[in-house]
A and B are shown apart, each in its own frame.
Chain A
């Protein structure tokens, strides 16, 4: 009895994997590496204290070597350690922004899509206004009037990001609302809030989830740009955009100070984009 069951068991995850776009897998693996780096930073960073405010003036601007794989920065901190700790800042911002704007957008979108009528009109006109600002522009204006910090970055980007999810969810929810099972629920006397929660919402989420993973890269880039402009994280927070800004005058002489944090932004944004593209291709099939 057990013998024939075993190969079937073994094949299932493989078969499932073969159905998934190879790009999605590659993106997920790359992203997992970044997430692991962020989670394990205090243990895998060669000089964990350099993730904070430690300074070693005598070891300033050492080129990459066995002791410092990515070299050291202006105040002698290990660049590799700071890049690893920087993953925490960037991923924290990305997760917070996507969670806040995703929830806000989905709630408003599902209401607009299911209710229709004037509720839909009001919500959609408000999203139109927000969508008229390129994300970086509005978050820039917001970040200028708020105090520069990681929280400011999260708030500023989330304010500009939710309308995308509201619009997407509204269009999906509107089409779900016309389906037979929603009509049936209505005929059975199920109250509207319950219909939205139990039937419309779960069936409208997939495209939003794909969009969320596609947008991770955009959030990381926007956050890095704000920090680069001095509107986000500040010393001694290890943040990739800030590291590029602080090292930019040294690029010609001490290339490693700017190159590695920039590559870290690139790799992380790339991982999100590859994963999102793969998921989208899978969804379109």
Chain B
């Protein structure tokens, strides 16, 4: 195990290094002059030179890359051009809201996807199976931004069942102010017993979380079905049937646990994807997370901010991947030998 751990960690460090270099390379493709973007169009030549010196744009590229890496590791992720604040602070502020949204979506995806997968495997080749397969394919085919607009129009603007946008009713900040511990509104409201903000946040969460849940729910249902079908054709399932267990019992009492292993590792991988999918949904529902920050950054061609978001999500993905691999290495020794 230590050998596997070190090898896998080394690989992850290598990938993060590559991610930093690639992000740097993409940002250096910028056709515009970042100094002009920072100093403004009316800047004098002296001001431009000053901005260029400050950002180190006069240095050779390898030196710039070295400085970039040094700053990143020292905690300096650059200054956002549109908020004029350190990118790191902006990200710290926006990330918990995205985590809240995607966390809620993944819970919905598991709660909906696993039972659907079980039902499909139980009635393989029959109507329930076909409808689960088709609807899960629909769920992964739907454009999220369009689904977000549609649900917002019908259930928020139209029927008025849910709030149209935002994370919670801002007027509650005055009547029942929230103490921040984790910066995740729903969690903070729950642990401090702030019911008005908790219920408001939950009702604001429903629609955007449902939209983001569509893709992972579809994938989870497909994966659960496939894993269950494979598991229930093994020898242990034959023994259980011989002992008189019904088909449903074989699936839910014996096959489900081993089948859930790949499903859970899948969830970790879908996490980063859902964060990015959430960008589009956050923009529609004006959710104060990474997505809205990214959308604002795109609009103002704010490269340090975009680089920060890109880097953060890519590193998250690497960490999630690593966590899954290590967990599987603990659970299943065969993984370590690979």
Q: How far is the CA of A159 from the CA of B187 in the complex (A)?
A: 38
Taken residue by residue from 266 to 296, chain B's Cβ proximity to chain A (1 for < 8 Å, 0 otherwise) reads as: 0000001101110110011000000000110
Report whether A229 and B295 are in contact in the complex, using a CB–CB cutoff of 8 Å. Answer: yes
Give the distance to chain A from B18, nearest Cβ to Cβ, in Å.
Answer: 3
Give the distance to chain A from B13, nearest Cβ to Cβ, in Å.
Answer: 11
Report whether B141 and A273 are in contact in the complex, using a CB–CB cutoff of 8 Å. Answer: yes
Report whether B317 and A132 are in contact in the complex, using a CB–CB cutoff of 8 Å. Answer: yes
- Residues 230-285 of A at the B interface (beta carbon under 8 Å): 230-231, 241, 244, 248, 251-252, 255, 258-259, 261-262, 265-266, 269-270, 272-274, 277
Q: Which residues of A contact B283 (CB under 8 A)?
A: 229
> Which of chain A's residues has its CB closest to B156's CB?
A252
Q: Which residues of A contact B18 (CB under 8 A)?
A: 125-126, 128-129, 132
- Residues 199-244 of A at the B interface (beta carbon under 8 Å): 217, 221, 224-225, 228-231, 241, 244
Report whether A273 and B145 are in contact in the complex, using a CB–CB cutoff of 8 Å. Answer: no
State which of A146, A244, A251, A266 has its C-beta within 8 Å of the C-beta of B29: A146
Asked if B212 is at the interface (CB within 8 A of a chain A CB), the reply is: no
Asked if A133 is at the interface (CB within 8 A of a chain B CB), the reply is: yes
Report whether A266 and B138 are in contact in the complex, using a CB–CB cutoff of 8 Å. Answer: yes
Report whether B141 and A134 are in contact in the complex, using a CB–CB cutoff of 8 Å. Answer: no
Report whether B276 and A258 are in contact in the complex, using a CB–CB cutoff of 8 Å. Answer: no
CB-CB under 8 A for A144 and B306, given A126-B18, A133-B314, A251-B149: yes
> Which of chain A's residues has its CB closest to B302's CB?
A144
> Which of chain A's residues has its CB closest to B11's CB?
A128
Taken residue by residue from 153 to 178, chain B's Cβ proximity to chain A (1 for < 8 Å, 0 otherwise) reads as: 10001100000000000000000000
Asked if A168 is at the interface (CB within 8 A of a chain B CB), the reply is: no
Q: How far is the CA of A144 from the CA of B303 in the complex (A)?
A: 8
Asked if A136 is at the interface (CB within 8 A of a chain B CB), the reply is: yes
Q: Mark the stretch among B20-28, B73-81, B108-116 that contacts chain A.
A: B20-28
CB-CB under 8 A for A145 and B31, given A134-B273, A224-B143: yes
Q: Which residues of B contact A134 (CB under 8 A)?
A: 272-273, 275-276, 313, 317
Where chain B touches its partner, the secondary structure class is: helix
> Which of chain A's residues has its CB closest to B318's CB?
A132
Report whether B276 and A137 are in contact in the complex, using a CB–CB cutoff of 8 Å. Answer: yes
Size category, A interface: 35 or more
Report whether B153 and A251 are in contact in the complex, using a CB–CB cutoff of 8 Å. Answer: yes
Asked if A140 is at the interface (CB within 8 A of a chain B CB), the reply is: yes
State which of A125, A241, A248, A255 has its C-beta within 8 Å of the C-beta of B14: A125
Asked if B61 is at the interface (CB within 8 A of a chain A CB), the reply is: no
Report whether A266 and B317 are in contact in the complex, using a CB–CB cutoff of 8 Å. Answer: no
State which of B137, B272, B273, B280 has its C-beta within 8 Å of the C-beta of A270: B137
Report whether A133 and B29 are in contact in the complex, using a CB–CB cutoff of 8 Å. Answer: no
Give the distance to chain A from B195, nearest Cβ to Cβ, in Å.
Answer: 32
Q: How far is the CA of A270 from the CA of B218 in the complex (A)?
A: 12
Report whether A228 and B280 are in contact in the complex, using a CB–CB cutoff of 8 Å. Answer: yes
Asked if B35 is at the interface (CB within 8 A of a chain A CB), the reply is: no
Report whether B314 and A137 are in contact in the complex, using a CB–CB cutoff of 8 Å. Answer: yes
- Residues 303-326 of B at the A interface (beta carbon under 8 Å): 303, 306-307, 309-310, 313-315, 317-318, 321
Report whether A138 and B27 are in contact in the complex, using a CB–CB cutoff of 8 Å. Answer: no
Q: How far is the CA of A81 from the CA of B83 in the complex (A)?
A: 42
Asked if A45 is at the interface (CB within 8 A of a chain B CB), the reply is: no
Taken residue by residue from 120 to 160, chain A's Cβ proximity to chain B (1 for < 8 Å, 0 otherwise) reads as: 00000110111011101110111011110000000000000
Q: How far is the CA of A261 from the CA of B149 in the complex (A)?
A: 13
Q: Which residues of B contact A141 (CB under 8 A)?
A: 23, 26-27, 306-307, 310
Q: How far is the CA of A269 from the CA of B218 in the complex (A)?
A: 14
Give the distance to chain A from B197, nearest Cβ to Cβ, in Å.
Answer: 28
Instruction: List the interface of chain A (C-beta within 8 A of B).
Output: 23, 125-126, 128-130, 132-134, 136-138, 140-142, 144-147, 217, 221, 224-225, 228-231, 241, 244, 248, 251-252, 255, 258-259, 261-262, 265-266, 269-270, 272-274, 277
Between A and B, 24 residue pairs with Cβ closer than 8 Å are A125-B14, A128-B11, A129-B18, A130-B22, A132-B16, A132-B19, A133-B19, A133-B313, A134-B313, A136-B276, A137-B309, A140-B279, A140-B294, A140-B306, A146-B29, A217-B141, A225-B280, A251-B149, A251-B157, A262-B146, A266-B146, A269-B140, A269-B142, A274-B134
Known: A129-B19, A134-B313. 19 other contacts (CB 8 A): A128-B18, A132-B15, A134-B317, A136-B279, A137-B313, A140-B276, A140-B294, A142-B26, A144-B306, A221-B143, A248-B284, A251-B157, A252-B153, A262-B143, A265-B146, A266-B143, A269-B142, A273-B137, A273-B141
